[in-house]
Amino acid sequence: MKNKKTSKWSVNLFFILFAAMLITLSGRFIYIQATGEVQGVNLNEWAERQRSNHTELPARRGYIYDRNGMELAQDITVYRLYAIISEAYSPNPEKRLNHVADHELTAEQLAPILEMETSEIVDIFQRGVENDQFQVEFGREGSQLSREQKLAIEELELPGIHFIEEAKRYYPNGIFASQIIGLAQTDDNQVITGITGIEAQFDDLLQGHDGKITFQRDSYNTRLLDAKEVIEQKHDGFDVNLTIDQKIQTILEDAMSQVEDQYQPERITATVVNPKTGEILAMSNRPSYDPNHIGDVDNWFNDVVSTPIEPGSTMKIFTLAAAIEEGVYNPKEKFRSGSYKIDQIDRPVTDYNQSWGEISFEEGFQRSSNVGVSKLVWEKIGVNRFLDYLNAFHFDRTTGIDLPREQAGTILYRYPIEQLTASYGQGTTVTPIQLIQAATAIANDGQMMKPYIIQKITDPNTGQVVQQTEPEVVGQPVSKETANQVLAAMESVITSDYGTGRNIYNLESYSVAGKTGTAQISSSAGGYLEGHENYIFSFLGMAPSDDPQLLIYITVKQPEITKDQSGSEPVSFIFKHVMENSLHYLNIQPDKEHEETVEKLTMPEWEQAEIDEIRQHFEEAGFKPKIVGNGNRIINANIEPGEDVLSTQHILLITDEPTMPDLTNWSLRNVIELANLTELDLEVIGSGYLIHQSIEPGEAIEPGRYLLSEFSTEQ
């Protein structure tokens, strides 16, 4: 009886447990059916992923161009190497081996191309196997590979070796305007991000937005007939056109490089501006850097906008302007030069090296007398009124130029001695861009123009211009009449027998209005540095002097000069080289034509012209074009018919049978021109001047042929 009761109880317990399980499972099924989720996983979304393919549509970062459409920053394709090491990827190795089976052999062949040790690569393979990894990568050495490296590896036909295409920011002109353009690099998420310069300032606009294509497939990865395709369009980043002119910038860079090599200065800045509009046509600094090859960078900053300096005697331009505008300047009035002492100061203001006796204020400006401008401020203008002019010329604020990290100088004006020294640019500091903005008022009938470097921003997806910069007048500190009188006084600095710029800053073809500057450098121990070369030598010049079309401001800090050399020598070399050639390039009519030495002619109609006829045309004018090939007719050239050609330009004429010239010592810019004209597939390594070319001189050039060109800054 007892066993019967036990058996009945066991049956009842079984049915109870079974019912509980059934209810639980039923409840679970009902929950899954109602919510579509299992352990937090949405089954509908999971199923959608399993039967859907996703293809990324990568957007390109916006390009940066000069004012004429020359590419200054662009994206190029590089390659990341990876190796499949899992044997599971080779299910039938007798037919085809799809993974790296021989670690030692593979490492030996990859090592010289990746510039790695064989043992390093073997270690990467073995660690991957030990960690049961499907594939491995090769760190920095295996990323951002060039096309040449990729082709060399593919020729080895190594099993299991593959590549991923990636984008890299590339700067085709090397150090060209690098502190303006800036730097963008690929981060850990393979996104190119701006770090400095325009690349950082406009990163949000330059960044694109990737798109994708989604469609449904079957279990064999075949697209379904009704694939329910969804396309999310990519949006390429906005393109930025700068006001920089590639030719003028190149002229400037070349001149600065020569000065850097010869004089080894601590710092150089130089800026070329159109004073009628405020457009920056060229701007450069030394030290600089090549954004394609970042190593030890001495100076990331753009000193033109970020580094205040004491301007020295270039400030006398604005002291003179204030005196003329106030009606208290008589150029013929005499004063005693040498030193000037007022009761409120302990030591006198002195002229830089001597007393010229009793001289006129006109001569005082030409000789750059500190005493002359001090007397103008203290006795004629008044210190409070002079401060108003300093503010009117905007020395009390930033310019608002569209470049990052702009700083403002400081008007040091609390004590009488500071009020006097401000008149000749000591104590008070300004940035070069502040001084340039102020000087546009002198060159532009008293109207002061805001400097700018962004010409326009364009949406490449629609072709629409989303931002266009227009010239902006930011003040009129002096009248047109005053500006013209100051220009005349500045011209006399160059032409007068007493002028500090005489026989130094004269141009062959154009008259110049300018002012020299020699600023002391503060010492960390207090006071100023001593020594023949421990100055910032500068020049602010405009040409032609009666109606300036270009304004250039140059500073050279602590050049290595001998006792018999002047600090103005490196400054004048840059100014004369850049101003003369730039004005000719811009077709500005010379006002000293009889002294012109830079030859110019009009490019003839070259299309299908006979080579002997074109050669004779250039040789008769004293020009030496580079003729590419041995054909009888010209089919292409780097200068369009009808354009003016300077004797200093590199002229390329492509014949109907082009052959590769010897490119040794060609600049990067000229090699790019050749590649574009002959449709070569160009790859560039380094910057500076060419030291190696993969196509030998004399070989035939065919469109699409690959040319590797290697450059170096050491010649």
- How far is the C-alpha of 665 from the C-alpha of 648, rounded, in Å? 16
Dihedral of CA 329/330/331/333: which sign?
Answer: negative
Question: Which of these is catalytic: 313, 538, 667, 709?
Answer: 313
Structure tokens belonging to residue 376 = 């103008």
Q: Where are the alpha helices (DSSP H) in 368-511?
A: 370-375, 383-392, 416-421, 432-443, 480-495
- How far is the C-alpha of 100 from the C-alpha of 97, rounded, in Å? 8
- How far is the C-alpha of 283 from the C-alpha of 250, rounded, in Å? 10
Residues whose CB falls within 8 Å of the CB of residue 94, separated by 6 or more in sequence, listed in order: none
Q: Where are the beta strands (DSSP E) in 16-155?
A: 37-38, 41-42, 52-57, 64-65, 71-84, 135-137
- How far is the C-alpha of 523 from the C-alpha of 413, rounded, in Å? 20
Q: Look up residue 133 and give its DSSP letter.
A: -
Structure tokens belonging to residue 339 = 């030193």
Tell me how crowded residue 668 is: count the other CB atoms within 10 A of its CB: 20
Name the residue among 200, 271, 288 with its Cα closest to residue 433.
Answer: 271
- How far is the C-alpha of 487 from the C-alpha of 155, rounded, in Å? 67
Tell me how crowded residue 539 is: count the other CB atoms within 10 A of its CB: 27
DSSP per position, 186-234: E-TTS-EEEEEHHHHHTHHHH--B-EEEEEEB-TTSPBPTT---EEE--
- 558 conformational bin, left if phi > 0, alpha if psi -120 to 50, beta if neither: left
Q: Number of helices and strands (H, E) in the chain?
A: 20, 33
AA identity, residue 561: I
- Helix or strand run (H / E) with residue 559: none
Cis bond before residue 287 (omega within 30° of 0): yes
The angle, 0 to 180 degrees and rounded to 10, between the axes of the packed helices 246-263 and 568-585 is: 160
The distance from CA 388 to its chain's CA centroid, rounded to whole angstroms, is 36
Name 57's bridge partners: 211
Name the residue among 397, 394, 372, 360 with its Cα closest to residue 313.
Answer: 372
DSSP per position, 391-422: HHTTTTS----SSTT--------SSHHHHHHG
313 is catalytic: yes
Structure tokens belonging to residue 76 = 């190029």
- Helix or strand run (H / E) with residue 254: helix 246-263
Pairing mode, strands 41-42 and 681-685? unpaired
**Residues assigned a catalytic role:** 313
